[in-house]
Amino acid sequence: MTDQHDARAMVIVGAGHAGGRAAAALREFGWRGRIVMIGAEPHLPYERPPLSKQVLTGERDASQCALRSRDAWQADRIEHKLASVRSIVPGSREVLLADDSRIAYEALLLATGGHVRKLSIPGAQLDGVMTLRTLDDALCIAPRLVSGARVLIVGGGFIGLEVAASARMRGCEVSVIEGAARLLGRAVPADIAQSVQDLHERNGVAVHVGVAPLEITRTSQGALRVLLSDARSIDAEVVIVGIGIEPAHELARDAGLAVNRGVIVNAQLETSAPGIFAAGDIAIHPGRFTGAPIRQETWHNAETQARTAARNMLGAQAAYDEVPWFWSDQYDHQLQVAGEPSLGMRTVRRVPGVSASMDFHFGAANRLVGVSGFGPAHVIAKDMKLARMLVERGLSPSADVLSDASFKLKALL
């Protein structure tokens, strides 16, 4: 590490959750020099989970999504530069901005997130066809979710289903269409996906799986009409597209870094170029259980990778070995997944309460590699926290113990 009075800064490209957490962590871990966060959004770093929930329902405003207050950023002397990065020059350790100015970096973190996927069908550009990725997106969608409005969600993943729940809470008439044979893809076991669908249907959502949108037109009454692949059509005032993101790895690719639908990093989150790190949605890192490359689009991933990356930007050699974890709140229910259930070779089910279930996934050597849970939040939250700890420790509890809901999981710890 060079003298901190050197003109070179710690530079973070991307001022979202991962970028913001990393900037704050750099100060926490002792960097006294310049820190520059470069972002394309006018907002200071904020959290994304509320966008599909509390912001849409009106329970939170923009300020309540912020990672930190403006005063906190200023007190830590962290610069937030609203700018576009044209290129990265690893050889001279510089970032070139769109206005031709340059910033020399001591270490660089790429936390550029992803680009929201849009429909590529006729009519996808009509007013009222919207996506949800940013705070401004959420603030634009929220006023349209008025009681009685017809809302069509394209995509039965987490974002789409959270938006569906929020829209129903606002009194909208909601339909969800999903091209796959079931909701939630491979993110959760099939029976949990069915339980999620049942929950939405009990709450008045019309769910259509195995169908895709072909065209969007405007009716004579001004509504949006979505033609489906099964020849039916659905009319709506608002169409919200939730079909995922594409990792924003263009800067890394153009700088010659190793990429593959994301930026490839080692266990220390360092890219193929020395001194350049990546964290959050774009980072493809060795998974904890097998070492195979994985990429995660979760709050937990952004939160924890940011801190590891910050340590390593300062010269540490800390390995990132967090167990994957995410949650999704829908109505009064919560879905949680910890670990990598897809690695499971057998599953043991626990029923902690009414309308709730937890699946423990065992891998090689009979060790827990994942747990999936769904049910009323107040029923599963405590057990899921303990189950996550079991997975983190790689324990091998007996199936009889796990399946017995009267047995306290805490005793296994």
Measured CA distances, 412 to 322, 341, 356, 407 (Å): 20, 20, 21, 10
Q: Give mean pLDDT, residues 89-96.
A: 97
Q: Give mean pLDDT, residues 156-166.
A: 97
Q: What is the pLDDT of residue 188?
A: 87
222: left (phi over 0), alpha (psi -120 to 50) or beta: left
Strand-strand pairing, 233-236 and 9-13: unpaired
Name the DSSP class of 324: P
Confidence tier at 57 by pLDDT (50, 70, 90): very high
Q: What is the pLDDT of residue 5?
A: 41
Q: Give mean pLDDT, residues 309-334.
A: 96
Is a pLDDT exceeding 80 seen at residue 2? no
Can you name the CATH fold of 118-241?
Answer: FAD/NAD(P)-binding domain (3.50.50)
* pLDDT tens-place string over residues 175-206: 999 999 999 988 888 889 999 999 999 999 99
For the domain bounded by 332-412, which CATH number is listed?
Answer: 3.30.390.30
Confidence tier at 3 by pLDDT (50, 70, 90): very low
Name the phi and psi angles at 137, rounded to 5. Answer: -60, -50
Burial letters for 313-338: b for 16+ Cβ neighbours within 10 Å, e otherwise? Answer: bbeeeeebebbbbbbbbbbebbbbbb
Confidence tier at 1 by pLDDT (50, 70, 90): very low
* pLDDT tens-place string over residues 362-410: 998 889 999 999 999 999 999 999 999 999 999 999 999 999 999 999 9
In the chain, residues under CATH classification 3.50.50.60 are: 9-115+245-313, 118-241
Q: What is the pLDDT of residue 6?
A: 53
* pLDDT tens-place string over residues 249-267: 999 999 999 999 999 999 9
Report the C-alpha gap between 3 and 275 in whole angstroms: 15
Looking at the chain, the whole-number percentage of residues with pLDDT higher than 90 is 94
Encoded tokens for 223: 């509504």
In the chain, residues under CATH classification 3.30.390.30 are: 332-412
* pLDDT tens-place string over residues 60-86: 999 999 999 999 999 999 999 999 999
For the domain bounded by 9-115+245-313, which CATH number is listed?
Answer: 3.50.50.60
Q: Give mean pLDDT, residues 227-242.
A: 98
Checking 100-106 for CB contacts under 8 A at 24+ apart, the result is: 103/9, 103/11, 103/36, 103/38, 104/7, 104/8, 104/9, 105/8, 105/9, 105/10, 105/11, 105/275, 106/1, 106/2, 106/6, 106/8, 106/9, 106/10, 106/33, 106/275, 106/313
pTM score above 0.85 = yes
Strand-strand pairing, 102-110 and 94-97: antiparallel
